[in-house]
Structure 1
Amino acid sequence: MGKAKEHGFSKERLARIDRFLDEKYVAAGRLPCAQFLLARNGEVVHQTILGEQDPERGVKLAEDTVYRIYSMTKPVTSVALMQLVEEGAVALDDPVARHIPEWKDLGVFSAGTGPYLTTPPSRPMQVVDLLRHTSGLTYGFQNRTNVDAAYRKLKLEAMHGEHDLEAMIDMLAKLPLEFSPGEAWNYSVATDVCGYLVQKLSGKPLDRALQERIFDPLKMVDTGFHVRDDQRSRFAACYDAGPGGKLKLQDDAQKSPYLAPPRLLSGGGGLVGTAADYMRFATMLVNGGELDGARILAPKTIELMASNHLPGGKDLTELSRSLFSESTNAGVGFGLGFATVFDPPQTLIPCSYGEFYWGGAASTAFWVDPVEQVTAVFMTQLLPSSTYPIRRELRTLTYSALMETYG
């Protein structure tokens, strides 16, 4: 801390972030808490800590508060799968059915509520489709189609439900795809399938594979699929945005299902962790796959992941069928595990070409800017993430404080 000027930031302008988050969100009762961690060149230049991690008991937010990071799990799982790509265990153009044989006859939905009328896909689903969400899979919470309804009926996304990862794969084998792979972008359980591939190809349960491949090397000491006993006092409560913006308790920190290991090890949304841990992960990414001597991926692999992989070089506004979106998507494509900016002016916010990012359902977010060597992590606990435009606001406030640029 205290290195703002040394790394090209205005300390006075960074102070705006604290005032903005407090006045507009925390003191105003719109968010229970807010933690923002900003780094450049691998060194933290600013941190904001506001509000209470457990308002029900008056427990203040702390630097080491543990949060549900939901879909910020996806980049972690994607990195683990790309490690296996580097090792030659799987290739991006592999048909998924090569690794999940029971999926070889998946059809595309035509009609019905079960049994379904289907047509053959125009091409087989590939591993790259899973990483970039062009697989034809979906999420039940989108409430959009008969296929979504089938996911809800089977409780496919229930981390604390009755089925495990293998059972999820078996259930998906019996359901149709929303569309032929590669035809569209749809936010989905695809990254859970990536987690299954990590588990199968590594020969280890997903939690152990991530621990050995990512968390231990990066010293991410507080990240995992449940809250350990020694973390309970640091675990945050989670809230829904209620009527009139009032907070409604969604998951009590002391009664949460996250206090016990889940049946479903969700590579798409199951992790809990701290801002400091996720900053170590983001710093590894901005460093080209290495941190403090721990090499996670090669620089060219990170470059590949951060490139736009959407067919035809299109952006998400052109290809997305999803009713759920992490942010405005003009000028933004999707890489192998996260969104990536390829036309900065179209985004209408300050950013860099090649910047990549994602967020979680409880309004958490991170971004990595390889041009400016900036990494940022934002943590809170409010569902859904679309309630407020806080992610875009934080980008604007951050880059408004950056006085010396590399780009």
Structure 2
Amino acid sequence: MSGTWDSKGGWATQGRAEEHAPASGGGLSAAGLDRMREVLAGPVESGAVPGLVALVGRGDETHVEVMGTLSAGGDEPMRRDTIFRMASATKPVTAAAAMVLVEECRLRLDDPVDPWLPELADRRVLRSLDAPLDDTVPAHRPITLRDLLTFTFGFGAVLAAPDTYPVQVAIRELGLDTTAPDFGPDEWIRRLGELPLMRQPGELWQYHTGSDVLGVLIARVAGQPFETFLRERILDPLGMKDTGFHVPEDKIHRLPVCYAHDPGTGALTVWDEAAGGKYSKPPVFAAGGDGLVSTADDYHAFYRMLLGKGTLGGVRVLSRASVELMTGDRLTPAQKTEKDAFGDHFGRHGGYGFGMAVRTHRRDLASPGQFGWDGGLGTSAYADPAEGLVGVLLTQTAQDSPDTPNLIRDFWTAAYQTLA
């Protein structure tokens, strides 16, 4: 993704693959791992990124590279267990939590979410994206869980310059243009409900907001805070002990300084400190779209579970059927129009499942069927069922200049060269 992280934490954006081939045999190549190390070292040595943790796993083999420091020019080295701000790489985990409730028959994919989210009932829809907020038509139908999981519920990030359209101004004025609002989930969904939808439910993929709504929905259906449900049903069963919505005081020394880039000079600028920063205390609103912090090993566990069709280490988190539903392309060509217009950011994968991209064509080294997602603060995590491969790259440098996106792409090019 490309864009700018602002002071509020807002991101201002400037064939079907579910039939996976069996994972191939073989592990990791020593020569390929040497090549990956060389590729990753360049941006660290040049100062483009202060540090990183990179993991590739295949079968019983796992290889981790740890490079650089926790802060630019600092002495404290990166560690394998460094905790990173996962940003939008949170989205697949949120989708998995929603599917737990589907499997328990507490939610149904195609039922309206109105009983749980009355703030989003009886929607009005803007006549056009540039229309005044009172120029609306009735929604053709209610919003469903499937709409939220596939980002087609009719509301999302506007891929235009700030304040281009009246709805963007309203989003900003309501305080909905930040990843860290100073009000809780009930107030957040109330404010969202004050706005009309931008599109009819089911009409078009629009980025991000669906995952935040899912967090509110999950909490209300489960009758407990979103983070508590996530920990009990996903994180603890998978041993993801360092994953959550903030970093406790006894672990804060493992959180790096987070950097964005000065839009004029391209120089690294501090976006979030560790101690006393945004992630040093529990948030008022645990955001299902971009709120998690985690480690390379924790995310490896999550994606190994998905590769294992819902099971890791003998513990079943989801059914095989749910994983296959999540990790297949669930959009029609018409729904992909806006996504595919941003080909190098949102459209390069071809498809989108539940909370994650799905590779539907061979555009680069990744196999059709690869699934996962990136985070705008410099994270990337995907699994490739055809190769039995999981890759995780974590940095503390935002994707608001070419440096970090290029590093992520180079990591994946190198990761596929590690296949024995």
Matches within 5 A, 1:34-73: 34-44=52-62, 46-55=63-72, 57-73=74-90
More moved, 135-144 vs 266-275: 135-144
Quickly say closer, same or farther: Cα 1:13–1:263, change in 2 above 3 A. Answer: same
What residue identity is the alignment partner of 1:335?
G
Question: Deviation per CA, 1:97-152, whole angstroms, max 9, x where unpaired?
Answer: 23212322211113788752211123332211111111111237853532232222
Quickly say closer, same or farther: Cα 1:165–1:295, change in 2 above 3 A. Answer: same
TM-score, normalization: structure 2?
Answer: 0.87
In the other structure, the counterpart of 1:229 is 249
In structure 2, distance between residues paired with 1:209 and 1:386: 36
Equivalent residue in structure 1 for 2:216, among 193, 196, 209: 196
Quickly say closer, same or farther: Cα 1:357–1:114, change in 2 above 3 A. Answer: same
1:12 and 2:31 equivalent? yes
Contact 2:86 2:375 in 1 (8 A): yes
More moved, 81-90 vs 290-299: 290-299
What residue identity is the alignment partner of 1:368?
A
Quickly say closer, same or farther: Cα 1:176–1:234, change in 2 above 3 A. Answer: same
Percentage identity across paired residues of the two chains: 34
1:254 and 2:288 equivalent? no
SS, match of residue 56 in structure 2: strand
In structure 1, distance between residues paired with 2:147 and 2:127: 21
Matches within 5 A, 1:237-316: 237-242=257-262, 243-312=264-333, 316=336
In the other structure, the counterpart of 2:139 is 121
What residue identity is the alignment partner of 1:9?
L
Q: CA deviation at 1:53?
A: 1.3
In the other structure, the counterpart of 2:382 is 367
Contact 2:133 2:196 in 1 (8 A): no
SS, match of residue 200 in structure 1: helix
Question: Deviation per CA, 1:256-292, whole angstroms, max 9, x where unpaired?
Answer: 1211111111011111111111111111111111111
Matches within 5 A, 1:93-112: 93-110=110-127
In structure 2, distance between residues paired with 1:12 and 1:315: 42
Contact 1:140 1:151 in 2 (8 A): no
Q: CA deviation at 1:246?
A: 2.3
Contact 2:27 2:59 in 1 (8 A): no
Question: Deviation per CA, 1:66-92, whole angstroms, max 9, x where unpaired?
Answer: 111011111111100000001101111
In the other structure, the counterpart of 2:372 is 357
Q: CA deviation at 1:245?
A: 3.6
What residue identity is the alignment partner of 1:138?
G
Contact 1:363 1:386 in 2 (8 A): no
In the other structure, the counterpart of 1:84 is 101
Contact 1:186 1:321 in 2 (8 A): no
Contact 1:315 1:333 in 2 (8 A): no
SS, match of residue 98 in structure 1: coil
Quickly say closer, same or farther: Cα 1:381–1:326, change in 2 above 3 A. Answer: farther
Contact 2:81 2:254 in 1 (8 A): yes
TM-score, normalization: structure 1?
Answer: 0.90
Question: Deviation per CA, 1:19-52, whole angstroms, max 9, x where unpaired?
Answer: 11211x11111112121100002531x2111111
In structure 2, distance between residues paired with 1:294 and 1:385: 39
Q: CA deviation at 1:187?
A: 0.4
SS, match of residue 198 in structure 2: coil
What residue identity is the alignment partner of 2:173?
K
Equivalent residue in structure 2 for 1:134, among 152, 163, 168: 152
SS, match of residue 127 in structure 2: strand
Quickly say closer, same or farther: Cα 1:225–1:366, change in 2 above 3 A. Answer: same
Contact 2:152 2:335 in 1 (8 A): no
Q: CA deviation at 1:396?
A: 1.7
Quickly say closer, same or farther: Cα 1:32–1:227, change in 2 above 3 A. Answer: same
Moved over 4 A (4+): 111-115
SS, match of residue 358 in structure 1: strand
Contact 2:379 2:393 in 1 (8 A): yes
1:392 and 2:409 equivalent? yes
Contact 1:225 1:272 in 2 (8 A): yes
Quickly say closer, same or farther: Cα 1:132–1:28, change in 2 above 3 A. Answer: same
1:146 and 2:166 equivalent? yes
Q: CA deviation at 1:157?
A: 4.7
Aligned length: 390
What residue identity is the alignment partner of 2:291?
G
Quickly say closer, same or farther: Cα 1:378–1:395, change in 2 above 3 A. Answer: same
In structure 2, distance between residues paired with 1:352 and 1:178: 34
Question: Deviation per CA, 1:165-199, whole angstroms, max 9, x where unpaired?
Answer: 11111111110111112221110311011111110
Quickly say closer, same or farther: Cα 1:353–1:272, change in 2 above 3 A. Answer: same
SS, match of residue 152 in structure 2: coil
What residue identity is the alignment partner of 2:351?
G
Q: CA deviation at 1:353?
A: 2.0
In structure 2, distance between residues paired with 1:249 and 1:162: 21
Quickly say closer, same or farther: Cα 1:307–1:12, change in 2 above 3 A. Answer: same
In the other structure, the counterpart of 1:177 is 197
In structure 1, distance between residues paired with 2:296 and 2:159: 27
1:214 and 2:234 equivalent? yes
In the other structure, the counterpart of 1:3 is none
In structure 2, distance between residues paired with 1:203 and 1:401: 45
